Structure 1
Amino acid sequence: MVRIRKPVAVICDIEGTTTSVRFWHEVIAPFIKENLAACLQDTWTQPETIDVVLGIRHKTAEDIRNGDKELPPILDENSPRKEMIDSIVKNVCYQMQQRKQSNELKAVHLLVWLYGYQNELLKGHVYPDVQPAFHHWKNDLGIRLFTFATGDTIVQKMLFGCSLMGNLNPYIEDFFNYDSVGKKTDSESFRIISKRIQINCNSMVFLSDNLAELKACQAAGVTPILVIRSHNRDLLDSSIQQSLPYKYIKII
């Protein structure tokens, strides 16, 4: 544990830093599969659900036409609702199993996440030390706090807004992701954030569990802070520490 000069801003990674790397595989993915049918049934007539269903149906039809014969089709709007919902669930579960990615599938995920958070069926995982750290940085030290993650900003807001530690969004000034500023492994992304929040890179720190991300932030002049959690505890090995290009290692 090494003390550093108080920064003007802290930029915080999410997965593996504030949130377990297992959260998607052990909580979110099963939640989608188990609650998609109920979500569709309860929100069927809502405009956003109608749009999501239309999008995934059209994308599925397009993929089948393009040769994906294993993809389960989605029944048309003239089919009984229950059978149509069953076909959507079968389709989405198949796509998730095959690790397919598309904007239409992402929209389905967002719909179910929102349903889960709004109905208190789902809580965003954060480690127990996250809320005290956020509170101390913002309220006691006056440090501006931001997040930078791969996931959509709306996903970040849902996770922190309905977290195991309550609503943490008031602590966070803004949320950044790949679409808004670029990859976390690209140093230019941190320069873009610096311009957006009008803070010099040398007055910011970036917390992450990922060495490639820390290397990128350091190249931009941002102080790298390596966060050690259970999944990357091997980095505490003395021989590995000696090879790290980072001056500061911090466990939070």
Structure 2
Amino acid sequence: MLDIEGTTSATRHVTDVLYPYARRRLARLLTERQDEPEVRAAVGQVRELLGEPEADTRRVARALGAWADEDRKVTPLKSLQGIIWAEGFARGDLTAHFYPDVVPALRRWHERGARLYVYSSGSVSAQRSWYRHAPEGDLRPLVSGFFDTRTAGPKTASASYRVISAATGLPPATTLFLSDRVSELDAAREAGWLTGALIRPEEPHSTSGRSAHPAARSFTDIGLDLPEGTV
């Protein structure tokens, strides 16, 4: 089970490229496509989070902008960003980023029979676009499934990992979660998963304490024993 930011991919690519791209287009999306079901549902979620059922489009846009600036992992923001990013990838405005050690490892693990999944705070739509538009080509065939905070729940809640285990049908004790964030790894371990911390020096969470979790500086350092049924 793979995290994205700080694990397979550079956080700065997301914060410096994708976030500003979506930020510039949020207000227009809300005004021009407010009748689309996914946009309408996201707006309703924003109003619920604000406790303002009558909030107009301008108020919703301000809230989303503030959450984007704070890098809040709220589902409606991620859903709308996902719509914008998917279209940006399709137009060729955006390209995904993967650390050089990642794609060879994913291909090697896939060839050896590992079932690979992605669990990120970004929407499933955004995850699929990310993996489809990698510089190395379309990586989606390597991935058995994608999960986000809407389909599984918050990444810092152990219940979310139990939801994923139920969805995949795989035993928690044979599922390895790779992430750069201790709070996520703690939650996964509480749910009975194996955990691995990525410590990349250029990443913002690389100096956090990780004594409870085996650590690696790159995917090259990760050796997987792959008995039948292991992710």
Judge same fold: TM > 0.5, yes or no: yes
The sequence identity of aligned pairs, in percent, is 27
Please give the secondary structure, in 2, of the residue aligned with 1:22. Answer: helix
Secondary structure, counterpart of 1:133 in structure 2:
helix
Q: Say whether the 8 Å CA contact 1:206–1:214 is kept in structure 2.
A: yes
**1:148-184 CA distance string (max 9 Å, x none):** 1112111111111112332111110001112112222
Which structure dedicates a bigger proportion of its chain to helix? 1
Alignment-derived partner of residue 180 in structure 2: 209
Alignment correspondent of 2:66: 98
Give the TM-score, by structure 2 length.
Answer: 0.72
Question: What's the C-alpha RMSD, in Å, of the aligned pairs?
Answer: 3.5
CA distance in 1: counterparts of 2:75 and 2:172, whole angstroms = 33
Q: Deviations along 1:102-139, whole A, 9 cap, x unmatched?
A: 87766653443222111111012221222111101101
2:11 matched residue in structure 1: 21
Q: What's the counterpart of residue 249 of structure 1?
A: 215
Q: Please, which of 177, 193, 202 is the counterpart of residue 148 of structure 2? A: 177
Matched, 1:155 2:126: yes
- Counterpart among 108, 126, 129 of residue 101 in structure 2: 129
TM-score by length of 1: 0.66
For 1:26 and 1:55, the matched residues in 2 are separated by 27
Match of 2:168 in 1: 197
1:165 aligned partner: 136
What does 1:212-231 correspond to in 2, within 5 Å? 212-229=183-200, 230-231=202-203
SS in structure 1 opposite 2:146?
A: strand
**2: distance between equivalents of 1:118 and 1:220?**
37
Structure 2: gaps (5+ residues)? 219-231
Q: Could you say which structure has the larger radius of gyration?
A: 1
- Which consecutive residues of structure 1, in runs of 5 or more, have no partner in the other structure? 1-10, 74-90
2:158 counterpart residue number? 187
Deviation at 1:95, TM superposition (A): 5.2
Counterparts of 2:195 and 2:146, CA distance in 1: 19
CA distance in 1, matches of 2:58, 2:89: 28
CA distance in 2, matches of 1:107, 1:183: 14
